[in-house]
Amino acid sequence: MADLPSLRAHRSGVLALAVAGFLFGSTFLIVERAIERAEVLPFLAARFLIASLVLLPLALRRPPTPGVAAHGFLAGLCLLAGYVLQTVGLRDTTPAASAFITYLLVVIVPVIVAVRTRRWPTANVVLGVALAVAGLYALAGGTGGLGRGELLTLGCAVAFAVHLLVVGAVAERHDPFRFTFWQVLTVGTLCLVPGAFAGSGPTAGYGFDEGVWVAAAVCGIGATAIAFWCMVWGQRVVPETQAAIILLLEPVSAGVLGELTGDSLGWRGALGAGLILAAVVVSEVLGRPPGVVGAELVVVPDHDGVDDPGYVFDPDGGVGG
């Protein structure tokens, strides 16, 4: 029988990832409108540096752990690569195709995990991935071909998948505030100088109007500082493949919020959202939390000095947090 503290920790992690997915998707329209009036790189710099300023006082209150800056830098590099490849790819493909290909990370993650661990995904994960891909196709409309833009966007999906795997591999070693701070600071800093030379005219560089600065602040606080903290915290107890499926709530929340603001999903979009929600349910509810059932409850020293319940390796299959 599963230990209740471990099961509660797992469910809390699932909830944190669901909140992250919702926050990522909630600012889709805000970002779309902001980059119509500002260049992408300076907007990313502003968004991620605002997030780092929000996280800084919280990070400073937490004790450092060995390698946290290096691991945060690596995660930040993966994030930056994903954002840049996605943006450049959008010049040669449609937004619908970009969305579909980007979220194919839900397939890439379990493939990498299977190769790395030499173990096949569980049946519920395979079914969840299949439902998620079908839902993405219905929601985004798929892609009509495989040209330069699609290939660049596929690179974006790989970068985001690797980011998710990096976070999953190191999140348990570090305080979530410190680790999140370092990865968002990396993105913001590396965009800062190139952003100053982006574009031309009055909106070049950081010549934002008031609305763009507000958008950068909203995205920096909600969809960056809080969302990435939730993602890091959740991935301490939720395996990478499950995390990838749960984070697909991002396009669902974007679609639902778009519906509320007058951008109709249509029957295909509604079907796609339903299939993605079904994928989350199948991967989570129908599958036992890895490392919980049949695992022994252990006490893991937390970085704040408080001992928290953790997972151990389950010999029957499943990697604990």
Structure tokens at 240: 């990478």
Digit-coded pLDDT (tens) for 54-70? 999 999 999 889 999 99
CA dist., res. 318 & res. 57, Å (int): 36
Structure tokens at 301: 């020293």
Q: Where are the domains of the chain?
A: 4-310
In single-letter form, the type of residue at position 107 comes to V
Structure tokens at 49: 């540096």
Q: DSSP of 116-130, one letter per residue?
A: HHT-PPPHHHHHHHH
Q: If DSSP codes are grouped into helix, strand and coil, which group holds residue 266?
A: helix
For the chain, give the number of residues.
321
The pLDDT-based confidence of 34 (bands split at 50, 70, 90) is: confident
Of 287, 253, 193, nearest to 30 (Cα)? Answer: 253
The pLDDT-based confidence of 294 (bands split at 50, 70, 90) is: very low
CA dist., res. 75 & res. 77, Å (int): 5
Phi, psi of 116 (to 5 degrees): -70, -40
Give whole-number Cα distances, 89 to 37, 145, 219, 272, in Å. 19, 13, 22, 23
Q: What is the pLDDT of residue 293?
A: 37
The answer to whether residues 28 and 223 touch, using CB atoms and an 8 Å cutoff, is no
Q: What is the pLDDT of residue 99?
A: 77
Q: What is the pLDDT of residue 159?
A: 96
CA dist., res. 254 & res. 27, Å (int): 8
Digit-coded pLDDT (tens) for 133-176? 888 888 777 666 678 888 998 999 999 999 999 999 999 999 99
Assess whether pLDDT exceeds 50 at residue 178: yes
Assess whether pLDDT exceeds 80 at residue 250: yes
Q: DSSP of 12-61, one letter per residue?
A: HHHHHHHHHHHHHHHTHHHHHHHTTTS-HHHHHHHHHHHHHHHHHHHHHT
Q: What percent of the chain has pLDDT over 70?
A: 83
The pLDDT-based confidence of 211 (bands split at 50, 70, 90) is: very high
CA dist., res. 145 & res. 97, Å (int): 9
